[in-house]
Structure 1
Amino acid sequence: MLGYMVRINLSIAIVAMVGSKPSNDTNNFTEVCTYPDEEVEQHYIEGDLDWDEKTQGLVLGSFFYGYTASNFMWGRAAEYLGGRLVFGLGVVVPSVLSLFSALCASVSKDLFIVLRVLEGLAQGSLYPASSFLLTAWIPPKELTSYGAYVFSGATFGTIVALGSGGWLCDSEFLGGWPSIFYVFGVLGVLWGLPWFLMVHDLPEQHPNIDSTELTYITTHRTFVKQDKNVSLPVLEIVKSVPFWSVMVVSFGYNYITYLLLTETPTYFANIQHVNLANNGYISGLLYAVQFLLLIAWGAFLAILSDKNLISVNISRKLSTALGMYVPAVAMIAMMWVDCNNTLAMVVMGIGIGANGLVVSGAEISPNDISPNFAGSIKGISNTVGAMTGFVAPLITGLIINNNQTLRAWNTVFVIGAVVSSIPATHFLIWGTDKVQPWNEPTPKTKQSVTSRTE
């Protein structure tokens, strides 16, 4: 939760930092939404920084340059050093850096970009370390539900950041928009103390774990605790079709996720002309839908699994299909929303809500196909996915630069729909829940590949 609050605080803060601007094409009322009140000036947001749309796209994407570069490194580090240290640093270090955001932004755009890159470098540890901890603590059959619960923290952090962030930026507290960086940064630093005091890498290392729980976990999990870390079987992984299926869907899923995450506030500010405080509330509400749906979906799949009504393989593919096809349809539907604020919220809510279901699908697949190398595989897949964190804002910035029109945003949405749909189809065909032969230190034969459906 705190990691995502620091990660996406800029998505809402940037509206206050640079202000909202009308399209140059104000005479074409078929392409530009009119303001709801007679005083157009009331809906302008005066910003402190003179950054055009291209610059904003670069700034919004800068976090992901560092994030992309560090995922694999942190995945291997988690397998060597343990998930506790790696994950903890991934929250605390960016939180400390966040405290200097306002200062860096006021001094230089380039300095602020460097700060965001450093935050991304540190936060590249979160998902690989999470995967390592999950595969060490959670039996495969329960990963669908517990993965949903754990990763729902990202959605909840988005709700808090967007909801409270709009209010903070619109207030005079600590200077307005700088307060969002100060408040979230302090919370992340304070979190570090209980984390490092209470968390352990493995159940076997926990001093207070119940013996019955320890026996249950170690008996049912497929993770194998190694006395020594083994080399990553790179060649076998590269030749693995299930591995590439995870890579492809990670790109598509993350593209639509970051597109919606970073650009939704800008869309509502510049197209639907929503004021700053309400913009944050609307964006937070949309992710509240995702949070509730994600928790309910995880519980629903857990019930089906307990009753042996659904296999792990089917639950992964069903979650992925709903999480990527539904947002794609919603993006296409946005082409007919026009200037209807309420309809835009409903359609966006459906797309954003369903998008979260992928965390119970392909996003947890690295734990399925290779529990022993889950940290590394997640690091690689998240590297591929993280590229979209700067690609999506960059492409969007190029399309809407000085062209805040319905037509321009429709192009953005269509591209998102295509990028989401194709990888989903790939995963439905080639995705699997089977542990791959290269998972073992001494690779098994093809005939010995086991399934997680039992």
Structure 2
Amino acid sequence: MKIATRFWIGCMVFLTTYTCYTTRVNMSISIVSMTKKGHKSTPECIMKSESHNRNESNETTDTSPRDDYPDYGPRYEWSEQVQAQILASYFYGYAIFSLPAGFLAEYFGPFKIILIAHIIAAVFNTLCVYAIWLNWGVLCFCRIILGCCGGLIYPALQCLIAHWAPPEEKGKFFGALMGNVLGTCITWPMVGAITAAFGWDWGFYSVSIKNVIFCIIFFFVCADTPEMHSWISEDELKYIKEKQAGNVEKQKVIPPYLDIAKSPAFWVLAICHFGNEWGLYLQLVNVPKFISEVIGFKLEETGGLSSVAPLCRMIFGMIFGLIGDTLRQKQVMSLSAIRRMFTVSSHILTGALLIGIGFVGCNWIVVMLLLALSLGLNGACSQSNLQNPQDLAPNFAATIYGFNSFIGGCTGFLVPAVTGELTKYNNGIREWGIAFMLGGGIVVVCGLTWILFGSVKEQPWNRKGGPS
């Protein structure tokens, strides 16, 4: 029995997000091995544990700074604010290029956009190694270019999914977006292990090599639309057209920007997406530093522990995708009820668990459980804010998602900046607890906004737009 071509397209969606995230999250691990921590070198939780043990044995506690760094390569005296800027720089480019990404994908086709973006990303991720020799500002520039490439990807995937996915199967396709989580799960321990063995420069090279391999596979497997694919069968092509029932136009049109800007449904979705991104980047960007510099795990351990929560997100996200498709096919719930049910998981429960981290102190087992469960439940976003653009306007889902990525992508530099300010004078468990409670509160409020005011109805401007 021949495997459907759209199955391979779904695999490409998964691999695209997987590869995209490797250049997004690798710096979160690499920066730990590239910096001198100075007076903050002894993690607070380690100091508390050592102090407790020594007090019990009446020994003197030595709280002097540690400078016995493992030899992973040159280390730099970057302040918490500089490190925050390096981590945030990716998201400056990501937010800016998210704005035109939808139109570019709808006009030139998602195939070209995704392929070119990954080629450029492979080049500039490699250049990061040499940029560091010059100045941390040059490193930030390279990370900004990487962010520009990343900002193009998700709107392009919205366009690809709109053309390839029958409505009853969109849950599986959006579940495939959780490939980004596998990218995180593999990249963090991989970069940690490679850095420990060969130095932090090879942490960058290894990620670039993976990008090149992806580009080769993507070139031979993917196509913009079913009509353009070289090996799709006539039966499958007919099936996709019938299921889409004319909701998706193949002609190139100018998006109705004014209608989108005036749409309450769009703005409520943008708020929901902003909250989701805040909670996500709080974990993806900052948690490795938290685990290493506050809890006190070694670099090799940091990568593996940091990957547990993203792995839960991938597993839960794909399960939620199957559940969502089943509910739609059997029509046991309305689409509105399905979206709201999953938003409770992706935002309300996720945010509540993040808030809980602020109350558990240095109990690292409980911290890791809360992180894993919160990010796992957030996998339901594949059935809430990630899929809602397809409900509102499948013809312009890429454009809508691009705008949402611009608004939500700002959290990529807001989260490190806020955390950097909170930890400026003391990089301790109390300051990080405030960061988690603040982030959790934002996630809950944004999710509640969509539950109360969100929409799943096709917008009248979905069928508008002048020929380009």
TM-score, normalised via structure 1 length: 0.91
Q: Counterpart of 1:362 in 2: which secondary structure?
A: coil
Q: Counterpart of 1:48 in 2: which secondary structure?
A: coil
| Aligned ranges 1:199-210 → 2 under 5 Å | 199-210=222-233
The residue type equivalent to 1:53 in the other structure is: E
Residue in 2 that maps onto 1:450: none
Question: CA 1:15 to 1:324, structure 2 compared with 1: closer, same or farther past 3 Å?
Answer: same
| Aligned ranges 1:408-447 → 2 under 5 Å | 408-441=431-464
Residue in 1 that maps onto 2:8: none
Unpaired stretches in structure 1, ≥5 consecutive residues = 444-454
Distance of 1:118 and 1:30 partners within structure 2? 37
Q: 1:377 aligns with which of 395, 400, 406?
A: 400
Question: CA 1:49 to 1:84, structure 2 compared with 1: closer, same or farther past 3 Å?
Answer: same
| Aligned ranges 1:384-395 → 2 under 5 Å | 384-395=407-418
Q: Counterpart of 1:54 in 2: which secondary structure?
A: helix
Residue in 1 that maps onto 2:14: none
Does residue 1:51 correspond to 2:68, yes or no? no
Q: Is the 8 A contact 2:154 2:401 kept in 1?
A: yes
- CA apart distance, 1:393: 0.5
Question: CA 1:110 to 1:215, structure 2 compared with 1: closer, same or farther past 3 Å?
Answer: same
Distance of 2:39 and 2:344 partners within structure 1? 37
Q: Is the 8 A contact 2:357 2:370 kept in 1?
A: yes
Q: Is the 8 A contact 1:31 1:405 kept in 2?
A: no
Does residue 1:249 correspond to 2:272, yes or no? yes
Distance of 1:260 and 1:250 partners within structure 2? 16
Q: Counterpart of 1:103 in 2: which secondary structure?
A: helix
TM-score, normalised via structure 2 length: 0.88
Question: CA 1:365 to 1:387, structure 2 compared with 1: closer, same or farther past 3 Å?
Answer: same
Does residue 1:324 correspond to 2:347, yes or no? yes
Q: Is the 8 A contact 2:191 2:303 kept in 1?
A: yes
Q: Is the 8 A contact 1:35 1:273 kept in 2?
A: no
Residue in 2 that maps onto 1:130: 157
The residue type equivalent to 2:32 in the other structure is: V
Q: Is the 8 A contact 1:136 1:223 kept in 2?
A: no
Q: Is the 8 A contact 1:32 1:404 kept in 2?
A: no
Distance of 2:187 and 2:300 partners within structure 1? 12
Moved more, 128-137 or 349-358: 349-358
Residue in 2 that maps onto 1:13: 30
Identity fraction in percent: 26
Distance of 2:220 and 2:132 partners within structure 1? 34
Does residue 1:166 correspond to 2:166, yes or no? no
Question: CA 1:305 to 1:139, structure 2 compared with 1: closer, same or farther past 3 Å?
Answer: same
Q: Counterpart of 1:264 in 2: which secondary structure?
A: helix
Q: Is the 8 A contact 1:20 1:44 kept in 2?
A: no
Distance of 2:19 and 2:133 partners within structure 1? 24
Distance of 1:3 and 1:406 partners within structure 2? 31
- CA apart distance, 1:25: 11
Q: 2:314 aligns with which of 287, 291, 299?
A: 291
Q: Counterpart of 2:49 in 1: which secondary structure?
A: coil
Does residue 1:188 correspond to 2:211, yes or no? yes
Q: Counterpart of 1:309 in 2: which secondary structure?
A: coil
Deviations 1:352-387, CA, capped at 9 Å, x for gaps:
211222122111111110111111111111111111
Distance of 1:223 and 1:13 partners within structure 2? 45
Does residue 1:220 correspond to 2:235, yes or no? no
Distance of 1:290 and 1:244 partners within structure 2? 26
Question: CA 1:300 to 1:226, structure 2 compared with 1: closer, same or farther past 3 Å?
Answer: closer
Q: Counterpart of 2:425 in 1: which secondary structure?
A: coil
Residue in 2 that maps onto 1:62: 89
Q: 1:112 aligns with which of 139, 149, 153?
A: 139
Does residue 1:357 correspond to 2:374, yes or no? no
Does residue 1:345 correspond to 2:362, yes or no? no
Distance of 1:310 and 1:142 partners within structure 2? 16
Q: Is the 8 A contact 2:170 2:325 kept in 1?
A: no
Distance of 2:50 and 2:438 partners within structure 1? 27
Q: How many residues align?
A: 436
Deviations 1:329-354, CA, capped at 9 Å, x for gaps:
11221122211121111111111211
Question: CA 1:11 to 1:53, structure 2 compared with 1: closer, same or farther past 3 Å?
Answer: same
Residue in 2 that maps onto 1:448: none
Unpaired stretches in structure 2, ≥5 consecutive residues = 1-17, 55-61
Distance of 2:129 and 2:426 partners within structure 1? 28
Q: Is the 8 A contact 2:254 2:465 kept in 1?
A: no
| Aligned ranges 1:4-43 → 2 under 5 Å | 4-20=21-37, 23=40, 33-35=48-50
Q: Is the 8 A contact 1:96 1:186 kept in 2?
A: no
Question: CA 1:35 to 1:376, structure 2 compared with 1: closer, same or farther past 3 Å?
Answer: farther
Moved more, 48-57 or 233-242: 233-242
Q: Is the 8 A contact 1:290 1:352 kept in 2?
A: yes
Question: CA 1:267 to 1:239, structure 2 compared with 1: closer, same or farther past 3 Å?
Answer: same
Residue in 1 that maps onto 2:182: 156
- CA apart distance, 1:20: 4.5
Residue in 1 that maps onto 2:4: none
Q: Is the 8 A contact 1:326 1:350 kept in 2?
A: no
The residue type equivalent to 1:160 in the other structure is: I
Deviations 1:258-304, CA, capped at 9 Å, x for gaps:
11111101111121111111010101122111111112221222233
The residue type equivalent to 1:113 in the other structure is: C
Q: Is the 8 A contact 2:84 2:417 kept in 1?
A: yes
Distance of 1:209 and 1:410 partners within structure 2? 52
Q: Is the 8 A contact 1:53 1:397 kept in 2?
A: yes
Deviations 1:165-223, CA, capped at 9 Å, x for gaps:
2212222x2xx111111001011012212212221111111121112211111111254
